[in-house]
Amino acid sequence: MTKIKSLFISLVLTLGVSTAIAGSHGSTHDLVKERGKLMCGSNTGLAGFGAPNDAGVWEGIDVDVCRAVAAAVFGDASKVEYVPTTSKVRFTVLQSGEIDMLSRNTTWTLSRDVDLGLEFVGVNYYDGQGFMVNKSLGVSSAMELDGASVCIQVGTTTEMNLADFFKANGMSYESVPVETNSEADAAYTAGRCDVYTTDASGLYASRAGYPDPSAHVVLPEIVSKEPLGPAVRHGDSEWADIVRWSLNAMIIGEELGITSANVDEMKSSKNPEVLRLLGVDAGYGAMLGLSDDWAYNILSQVGNYSESFEKHIGPNTPINIQRGLNALYKDGGILYAPPFR
């Protein structure tokens, strides 16, 4: 039987993958409710974004999006099964229906959104490629990096962005090619290159692990757009809405100053938007096919965006990332959720 199976697989392999991708999967929302838990594609381990802690509990800002969706659907943020995915298998795992949503620092690009049959529902972290140098170099801007040696992962968008940036500014660099991010990190700490470049969040996470983090500085220039956000399968708008508004609820929660600590007091607030969000004014949950207290559950169990950010990657954590672009639009960032009405 196994022979037949493997023959079958090889046969289909030759026929090509694209024709075989099945379209409809039924309503994801119903499937999730029936199953009683949310299957969420997570990272295999990325500090601050998604990794199991010593007790085996998943933590991170990407993980918090999964928890928010579970809180919205079940009223219980813990009803999530995490499926660790690598960057190579993450999209197929989602396409095949093995997971209900993917929340693992994935950049929203046109081809992924359109060609891969995914639907990105929002951005939970605005990232971008940055540069890190040793403070002793005395460099304060990426424009001063002419002639520097740069540790760079081969075959990545990072590599192309680097070339573009230096070319556009008429500067030259010497590339020190490495295979993986941790190798680049090791090469940089060993002094094989002056500059280490990757997504800024990765630079902060790496720096947090150095014996003396304050000896390294991440330069202010960000040379690419890397909006990271949760994705669902294309073609199930109802489910996409639920995931999108679960994330939005966290952001709106921050806008309105609702935290996990004061969410109960806020129920008696006079602000109509707060009342709509927390389900005191009924009717909004039903539009999504959820109970009216769905956003209340998110904010009381997971907290608002700011709480999640501060807890996992903010300045008080070893990763030490400033809000920057990820601050609310009214605080100088670009984080913005459509109105809740």
Map 207-257 to HEC letters. Answer: HHCCCCHHHEEECCCCCCCEEECCEEECCCHHHHHHHHHHHHHHHHHHHCC
End-to-end CA distance of the chain: give it in Å, rounded.
Answer: 57
Measured CA to CA, the distance from residue 246 to residue 237 in angstroms comes to: 14
Please pick, from the candidates 45, 155, 315, 332, the single residue that binds other proteins as defined by CB under 8 A: 45
User: Given the rule CB under 8 A, which of 94-102, 190-198, 229-237, 326-334 is the region that contacts other proteins?
Assistant: 94-102
Q: Considering only residues 171 through 200, tell me which ones interact with other proteins, judged by CB under 8 A.
A: 182
Angle at 120 between CA 115 and CA 124, to 5 degrees: 145
Give yes or no for residue 85 binding other proteins (CB under 8 A): yes
- Cβ–Cβ < 8 Å for 230, 222: no
Give yes or no for residue 52 binding other proteins (CB under 8 A): yes
Q: For other proteins, how many residues bind (rule: CB under 8 A)?
A: 50
Measured CA to CA, the distance from residue 248 to residue 333 in angstroms comes to: 16
Q: Considering only residues 289 through 328, tell me which ones interact with other proteins, judged by CB under 8 A.
A: 317-319
**What DSSP string runs through 118-160?**
EEE---SEEE-EEEEEEGGG---SGGG-TT-EEEEETTSHHHH
**b/e code 82-107 from CB counts within 10 Å (16+ = b):** bbbbeeeebbebbbeeebbbbbbbbb
Please pick, from the candidates 78, 96, 180, 262, the single residue that binds other proteins as defined by CB under 8 A: 96
Give the nearer residue to other proteins in terms of CB position, either 96 or 237: 96
User: Given the rule CB under 8 A, which of 76-84, 126-134, 147-155, 168-176 is the region that contacts other proteins?
Assistant: 76-84
Least distance CB 214 / other proteins (angstroms): 14
Residue 134 CB coordination number (10 Å): 16
Give yes or no for residue 282 binding other proteins (CB under 8 A): no
Give yes or no for residue 46 binding other proteins (CB under 8 A): yes
Least distance CB 167 / other proteins (angstroms): 34
Give yes or no for residue 17 binding other proteins (CB under 8 A): yes
HSE on the CB side for 10, CA within 13 Å? Answer: 6
Please pick, from the candidates 38, 40, 47, 200, the single residue that binds other proteins as defined by CB under 8 A: 47
Please pick, from the candidates 62, 73, 79, 82, the single residue that binds other proteins as defined by CB under 8 A: 82
HSE on the CB side for 62, CA within 13 Å? Answer: 32
Measured CA to CA, the distance from residue 317 to residue 207 in angstroms comes to: 12
Give yes or no for residue 235 binding other proteins (CB under 8 A): no
Give yes or no for residue 169 binding other proteins (CB under 8 A): no
Least distance CB 270 / other proteins (angstroms): 40
Binding footprint of other proteins on the chain (CB under 8 A) = 2-3, 6-7, 9-10, 12-13, 17, 20-22, 24-26, 31, 43-48, 51-54, 56, 81-86, 88-89, 92-93, 95-98, 182, 205, 208-211, 317-319
